[in-house]
Chains A and B, each alone.
Chain A
Amino acid sequence: GAVVSQHPSRVICKSGTSVKIECRSLDFQATTMFWYRQFPKQSLMLMATSNEGSKATYEQGVEKDKFLINHASLTLSTLTVTSAHPEDSSFYICSAVQGSSEAFFGQGTRLTVV
């Protein structure tokens, strides 16, 4: 299947700093990318949907100023967690879809804010 590369896989940062997570579709052009957050032993919670060249659509309750999403090209979307706090510690996963085909997931990023 298609490959979606998410980087970094793990990151530890200090409270108050910002962290950028990259999601790349390596062998296809992703018309839509999704960003999810997953707490331990829970399901994936959709944070936002991003389409190339347009502003991301955020889910209710997700602060767009805190979780900045940029989908600058058909192969790259980034999620920046700004002014991170310990409660932002979580597993973040991106997925990419090409047209009406299936969704492919990145490897996930485990963020720990200390």
Chain B
Amino acid sequence: ELKVEQNPLFLSMQEGKNYTIYCNYSTTSDRLYWYRQDPGKSLESLFVLLSNGAVKQEGRLMASLDTKARLSTLHITAAVHDLSATYFCAGINNNDMRFGAGTRLTVKP
């Protein structure tokens, strides 16, 4: 069974600072996803990473994938308050999709 571990679980950042969320997974994952969830809402897709070395960027967020290390990272650059949310990574193997525990990000002025 695919296991996904995410850290940190809680992250309090100041505006303008950079930080990285880490996502490790236990077995081969066909794809690696990053999602954002706002309170009371469903998941919003941020990135889908398909292959080793994949890097994708959207605004202040950049995601990367290292399949050899079974590690994906979500890097936040110059955080702003609007980025406050819970971020989940998820892997999928043989149609079995599993989520990390989530990182609750709070960006403070």
Check B33–A102 contact: CB distance below 8 A.
yes
User: Which chain B positions have C-beta within 8 A of A43?
Assistant: 88, 99-102
- Taking a contact as CB atoms closer than 8 A, the residue among A32, A102, A106, A110 that contacts B45 in the complex is A102
In which size bucket is the chain A interface? 20 to 34
Cα distance, A108 to B88, chains bound together (Å): 16
At the interface with chain A, which of B62-70, B76-84, B89-97? B89-97
Contacts of A81 in B (CB 8 A): none
Complex Cα distance, B41 from A110, in Å, reads 10
Is the pair A103, B33 in contact by a Cβ cutoff of 8 Å? yes
Closest CB of chain A to B87's CB: distance in Å?
A: 11
The reply to whether B97 and A34 contact each other, CB–CB distance below 8 Å, is yes
Smallest beta-carbon distance B32→chain A, Å:
10
Per-residue B-contact encoding for A30-58, CB less than 8 Å = 1, 0 else: 00101010000111101001010000000
Instruction: Flag whether B15 is at the interface (Cβ < 8 A).
Output: no
A105 touching B102, Cβ below 8 Å: no
Nearest to B102 among chain A residues (CB) is: A43
Q: A1 at interface (Cβ–Cβ under 8 A)?
A: yes
CB-contact partner of A97 in B35, B88, B95, B98, under 8 A: B95
For window 15-37 of chain B, which residues contact chain A by CB distance below 8 Å?
30-31, 33, 35
